[in-house]
Amino acid sequence: GQQVMQIPQYQHVQEGEDFTTYCNSSTTLSNIQWYKQRPGGHPVFLIQLVKSGEVKKQKRLTFQFGEAKKNSSLHITATQTTDVGTYFCAGQRTSGSRLTFGEGTQLTVNP
């Protein structure tokens, strides 16, 4: 079945440092979504990438979708304590099908 792998599992940074998490799918995806889960909270949708090579920005967050539509990354510039949480990527093989989530990257930010 489809697998989505995400690295690293944990990342500790000092406030102000950059952070990147990487996501790789075993199969070509229709789209990839990113979610953030704060400690004690529920996953919250951040963004969806659909096109090959797509890059989207949300303030300090930059999301990329690979040319082959099998990998993706999330980069946070100059982390802040509000960025703390677990970031999940989730891939869909076809639009409307089930999401396959990566294991998540747990980000801690030291002030």
Comparison of 28 and 80: residue with beta carbon closer to another protein: 28
Comparison of 69 and 79: residue with beta carbon closer to another protein: 69
**Residue ranges that bind another protein, judged by CB under 8 A:** 30-31, 33, 35, 41-45, 48, 50, 88, 90, 92, 95-104, 106
Token output for 90: 């989730």
Going through 1-111 in order, the beta strands assigned E by DSSP cover 4-7, 10-14, 19-25, 31-37, 43-49, 55-58, 61-65, 71-76, 85-92, 100-101, 105-110
Rounded to the nearest whole angstrom, what is the least distance from the CB of residue 31 to another protein in the complex? Answer: 5
